[in-house]
Amino acid sequence: MLIACLDLEGVLFPEVWINVAKKTGIEELKLTTRDISDYDELMGIRLKIIAEKKLTLRDIQYTIDTMDPLPGAVEFLDWLRETCQVIILSDTFEAFARPIMRKLKMPAVFCHSLGVDENNVVNSYQLRIDDAKTKAIDAFRSLNFNTLAVGDSFNDLGMLQRADHGIFFQPPAEIAAKYNDIPVAQNYEVLKSMITDLVKNY
Amino acid sequence: MLIACLDLEGVLFPEVWINVAKKTGIEELKLTTRDISDYDELMGIRLKIIAEKKLTLRDIQYTIDTMDPLPGAVEFLDWLRETCQVIILSDTFEAFARPIMRKLKMPAVFCHSLGVDENNVVNSYQLRIDDAKTKAIDAFRSLNFNTLAVGDSFNDLGMLQRADHGIFFQPPAEIAAKYNDIPVAQNYEVLKSMITDLVKNY
- Which residue segments constitute the domains of chain A, with CATH numbers given? 2-13+71-112+128-199 (3.40.50.1000)
**Order of all β-strands in the sheet with A165-169:** A122-126, A108-116, A85-93, A2-6, A146-151, A165-169, A184-185
Say whether A144 and B136 touch across the interface (CB within 8 A).
no
Question: Looking at the predicted structure, is the pLDDT value of residue B20 above 80?
Answer: yes
Q: Give CA–CA dist A177/B109, Å, rounded.
A: 36
- 3-state class (DSSP) for residue B143: coil
- Contact residues, chain A, for B106 at CB < 8 Å: 81-82, 105, 107
Q: So what's the ipTM on this one?
A: 0.94
Contact B1 A105 (CB under 8 A): no
- Rounded to an integer, the average pLDDT of B5-32 is 94
Asked if pLDDT for residue B33 goes beyond 80, the answer is no
CB contact under 8 A, A1 and B129: no
pLDDT of residue A13: 98
Whether B82 and A105 lie within 8 Å, measured CB to CB: no
Burial (CB < 10 A; 0-12, 13-18, 19+), residue A191, is buried
Neighbours of A110 (CB within 10 A): 24
Please report the pLDDT score of residue A35 as a whole number. Answer: 85
* Chain B CB contacts of A136 below 8 Å: 143
Q: Is A60 exposed, middle or buried (0-12, 13-18, 19+ CB in 10 A)?
A: buried
Active site residues of A: 7, 9
Digit-coded pLDDT (tens) for B127-156: 999 999 999 999 999 999 999 999 998 889
Amino acid, res. A202: Y
The CA-to-CA distance between both ends of chain A, in Å, stands at 6
Q: At what angle do helices A57-65 and A94-103 cross, to 10 degrees?
A: 20
For A143, which of B82, B86, B110 is closest by C-beta distance?
B110
Q: What tens digit of pLDDT does each residue of B36-58 get? A: 888 889 999 999 999 899 999 99
Average pLDDT for chain B: 95
pLDDT of amino acid A200: 87
Residue-level pLDDT, tens digit, chain A, 202 residues: 999 999 999 999 999 999 999 999 999 899 887 788 888 899 999 999 998 999 999 999 999 999 999 999 999 999 999 999 999 999 999 999 999 999 999 999 999 999 999 999 999 999 999 999 999 999 999 999 999 999 998 889 999 999 999 999 999 999 999 999 999 999 999 999 999 999 988 7
Which residues from A are below 8 Å from B when comparing CB atoms? 1, 81-82, 85-87, 94, 98, 105-110, 113, 128-129, 132, 135-136, 139-140, 142-145
What is the arithmetic mean of pLDDT over B53-71? 95
Contact A3, A140 (CB under 8 A): yes
**Would strands A122-126 and B108-116 be described as parallel, antiparallel, or unpaired?**
unpaired
Q: How far is B49 from chain A, CA to nearest CA, in Å?
A: 26
Q: Do A129 and B144 touch (CB under 8 A)?
A: yes
With CA atoms as reference, the chain A residue closest to B126 would be A1
**Mean pLDDT score, B191-199:** 96
Whether residue B9 lies in the annotated active site: yes
- Inter-chain contact A139–B144, Cβ cutoff 8 Å? no
The catalytically annotated residue of B7, B91, B152, B156 is B7
Q: For A139, which of B94, B108, B143 is closest by C-beta distance?
A: B143
